[in-house]
Every structure is written in structure tokens, then in C-alpha cells.
Amino acid sequence: MRDQELTLIGRNPVLEAFRSGKTIDRLFIQAGLKDGPISTILREAKKTGVKAEFVQKSRLDEISEGSNHQGAVAYLASFRYYTVDEILSYAKEKGEDPFIFVLDGIEDPHNLGAMIRTANLAGAHGVIIRERRAAGLTATVAKTSAGALEYTRVAKVSNIAGTIDTLKKQGLWFVCADMGGESMYKLNLTGPIGLVIGNEGEGVSRLVREKCDMVASIPMKGDIDSLNASVACGVLAYEIVRQRLMK
């Protein structure tokens, strides 16, 4: 459930949020509406790089819980986002090889909060999340991170695969988690690295997986076939930490 104070319902609240410079996490517009106020909202959204998601009226009715949404609902971010360049600059300031978490479509805010907490404790320089069809920085994420969000740089990008390409040009290697990969204990996970974790249900998307240099699996001996996404993230992150320390 969304925090009600972070949900903007109706055209005027949404428009004023854009005009006042607030960070909008997601914007939902009723499909088929093209009148003046809706066009103005879409124009303001475009200025700030927010892509509208066009949905049916029934979806907006559900989100707004019966309030008069007038065809527009938006989610505010609880915390500001950093840029990818700011994450890299932070690593440079510390004199360390970049270590970045790249989250390809994590939808559960509790998982996102747990991963941000792990990133902070493991010494990662930042977390990159997907702009659409993914959890953003809400109060629930902040609470689950147990305070780590206050100290962890999180960037939101529209294209994870494209971001990986850009970071590769700056010297980073990428390893993604997948049960079909090679044991993480056999991989060299030192140096500038990005750890890619996929969606809770579908895993890492095909295109993003193809961009990764390595595919790592976690050896498992039990009777079930996989770990929770945030737990798998923690296990792989600390293998990277171990190898960095040994180096």
C-alpha cells in the first residue's frame, strides 16, 4: 500500500507538484484524455523527464481509493535522486573502484529498502533503479532500509541496458545473478563492478543479461529452487566484498 501523503490525486495537485519542483516518482494518466489540463500536465512531465503511464479509469479508481482523480494521479518520491555521475564521483572521492548495485525492476518496496541497506553496509557507492514498473523511493523503502537511504545514493534511469553500456565505457564490469550462471566462487569479482539483480518474479531481463560480462549463481543445497531477491543480492554483494578485501 502507498503512503497516502505521497499520493497526489487530481489534476491541480499533480500540476502544482511539477511546477513547484517536487520529485515525481510515477505519473498515471487516464488513457484517451487529451484536454487542456491533461496536456499541460504532460508538458510539465516531459520537462522533468517523467514518462506518463496511460492506464484505464478503473486503475486510477483503484489507486485513488474512490477519490475524484480527474484522470491524473502521481506518486511523490520521499527522497531526492542522485545522478549516475554523482555515484561515480563519490567512488572517486573515496579513492575506490566503483561498486554499484543495478536493480532491474525490483517491485517490492521492502526488497528495495533491504537492498539499499545492504548496499550501504557493503560499501557500495550507489544503487541504480529502473524508472518504470519498479519501486521508487517511498517512506516504506526508507523505513525498511533502517536509515541507510539517508546515506546511500540512489539514481533512477529510464534504460538499464543503456546505462550499463555507458558505465562499461568508464571501465566497469557487470555481473548479474541467475541460477543458470557459474558459481560466484569461481568468478573474479574484483575491480570496478556493477552487481545486477533482477525482478522478483522474472529475474534479469534478457537484454540486460546480454549486456553483463558475467552471470553468477549462488550454490544451493536445499529443497527449494531460489532465494528471495534481496537475500540473493546480499549474498552476492558480500562475495564481492570478500574478494575486494582479499585483493
Residues 33-77: tens digit of each pLDDT? 989 999 999 999 988 878 899 999 999 999 888 889 999 999 887
pTM score: 0.76
Whether residue 24 has pLDDT greater than 70: yes
In whole angstroms, give the CA distance from residue 177 to residue 115: 14
Alpha-carbon distances, residue 40 vs 21, 37, 60, 75, 239 (angstroms): 15, 5, 19, 18, 49
Whether residue 219 has pLDDT greater than 70: yes
Write the pLDDT tens digit of every residue in 104-149. Answer: 999 998 999 999 999 999 999 999 999 888 888 877 888 899 989 8
The more confident residue out of 230 and 79 is: 230
In whole angstroms, give the CA distance from residue 177 to residue 216: 5
Whether residue 5 has pLDDT greater than 60: no
Q: What does the pLDDT read at residue 224?
A: 63
Which range among 26-35, 73-82, 179-188, 208-217 shows the weakest confidence by mean pLDDT?
73-82
- b vs e for 23-35, b when ≥16 Cβ sit within 10 Å of the residue's Cβ? bbbbbbbbeebee
